Structure 1
Amino acid sequence: MLASMRLVTLLAVALGTTAQAASVSVRQDTAVDVPMATNLGEVENGFLVINKEDTEHGTLVWYAHAATPEPEPESDGKLNKRCGSNKVECDNSHVPRAELCAILLNDLEEAYFDLRTNPRSLCLSQGADRCCVSWSKTVNGLNGAHLHTAASQVFSTCVWYRAKSGLTRDTNLNGVCVTQCLSNRPDGCT
């Protein structure tokens, strides 16, 4: 519990909040009743595990749509004018653990994840807990930085302060307009 409180305090300082306010908002329960496919080639709710990497913070798992849909074509420029508002919506279902999401967001910002295999989600897992960033369409040429902006908006608006999951609508991912989600599951982002 002390280590968890230290992490909350560090995260709160990094986000410019007080530790007291942050600790009230963070979910303390860790039980998540979500079946998790984590072995390469396994399928979970129509999503195939395409890559897995053990890190010091947990296990990163990349999921792709099992039916392998064609990636969306890149925008002709008109899309960019009407897409990118990242309108945030919060929800009470599929709530991820805030500490895991903070680590995942840091990894997205700091590291260059080559997502050339056209995944539809990326999850960080620790035991039965996980935080996933997922998106509604297959997009070519993504890297971790493309996912960071919308995911951090959902994190600060929904996950951190309200202990909820969330999504952004009208999100521009490398020229394709998508819905992007932050939750405890790799699927369901439409």
Structure 2
Amino acid sequence: MYTPSSTVLYLAAVAGVAHVSATPVASSQPGELRFLSAETLPNNKGTLTFYGAAPSASSPAAGEPLAPRACSTSDVTCDSDNVPDPAVCGGLIDILREGGSRAVPQSPLSICLTLDGANASRCCVTWSAPVPNLDQKYLVPAATKVFNECLPLGLSGLARNVDLVGVCAVQCLSNRPDPCR
């Protein structure tokens, strides 16, 4: 089971940001998302990467506001596709938690942590619709729920009916920044 204390040492190593790249790259990533920006974490501990929809007529619209009591159950479904490394996901969840009220720009739909090295591994938290005024901390509860229910079984997963600041969304935890539906 994931707990914040399980990655205290990891957090100590990645607490700051060493380099930020804000130049979007034109190439698309798998699915419909494209690279937006990346932050190289200190001590060569990995890279935090933001992916979003390419600006076009087919870009996802902002999520629909919630109907009263329509969302917040965060129902989890596990899957054997695109299974992430649990240690990397624990680090990503801690980074999101520590980012707290750090705003996520409206266009990103995925944040990934990639650890460098010969056996590079990645974990991504992805959500289904743009959410205005989204702070990183709002991604933590559903990511933690998927982490606790799916990753111990060696699976990736998604949570449906996630309340992200009043927008009902689907949120995934996997090794890819693909759109979450």
Q: What is the TM-score normalised by the length of structure 1?
A: 0.74
2:73 to 85, 88, 103: 85
Give the 3-state SS of the residue equivalent to 1:40 in structure 2: coil
Counterparts of 1:60-71 in structure 2, within 5 Å, are 60-66=48-54, 67=56, 68-71=59-62
The Cα shift of 1:14 comes to 3.4
Is contact 2:110–2:127 with CA below 8 Å preserved after alignment?
Answer: yes
The Cα shift of 1:72 comes to 2.5
Aligned to 1:14: 5
| 1:40 equivalent in alignment to 2:40 | no
The Cα shift of 1:12 comes to 7.4
Counterparts of 1:90-129 in structure 2, within 5 Å, are 90-112=78-100, 113-127=102-116, 128-129=120-121
Residue type matched to 2:166 in 1?
G
Moved over 3 A (4+): 11-15, 67-70
Aligned to 2:37: 51
Is contact 2:126–2:178 with CA below 8 Å preserved after alignment?
Answer: yes
Aligned to 1:139: 131
Q: Indicate how the Cα distance of structure 1 residues 13 and 106 shifts in structure 2: closer, same or farther if over 3 A, else same.
A: closer
Counterparts of 1:153-164 in structure 2, within 5 Å, are 153-159=145-151, 161-164=152-155
Is contact 1:74–1:174 with CA below 8 Å preserved after alignment?
Answer: no
Give the 3-state SS of the residue equivalent to 2:122 in structure 1: strand
Q: Indicate how the Cα distance of structure 1 residues 116 and 12 shifts in structure 2: closer, same or farther if over 3 A, else same.
A: closer
Is contact 2:65–2:168 with CA below 8 Å preserved after alignment?
Answer: no
Is contact 2:124–2:177 with CA below 8 Å preserved after alignment?
Answer: yes
Is contact 2:51–2:177 with CA below 8 Å preserved after alignment?
Answer: yes
The Cα shift of 1:126 comes to 1.4
What is the root-mean-square deviation of aligned Cα atoms in Å? Answer: 2.0
Is contact 1:118–1:141 with CA below 8 Å preserved after alignment?
Answer: no
Aligned to 2:16: none
Residue type matched to 1:40 in 2?
P
Q: Distance in 1 between matches of 2:4 and 2:28?
A: 39
Residue type matched to 2:109 in 1?
R
Deviations 1:61-97 (A, max 9, x none): 000111443322544xx34x12000011111110000
Which structure's CA Rg is the greater one?
Answer: 1
Q: Distance in 2 between matches of 1:164 and 1:69?
A: 27
Residue type matched to 2:62 in 1?
P
Q: Distance in 1 between matches of 2:64 and 2:159?
A: 20
Q: Which runs of 5+ in 2 are unaligned?
A: 7-22
Q: Which runs of 5+ in 1 are unaligned?
A: 1-10, 16-38
Give the 3-state SS of the residue equivalent to 1:125 in structure 2: strand
Q: Indicate how the Cα distance of structure 1 residues 162 and 72 shifts in structure 2: closer, same or farther if over 3 A, else same.
A: same
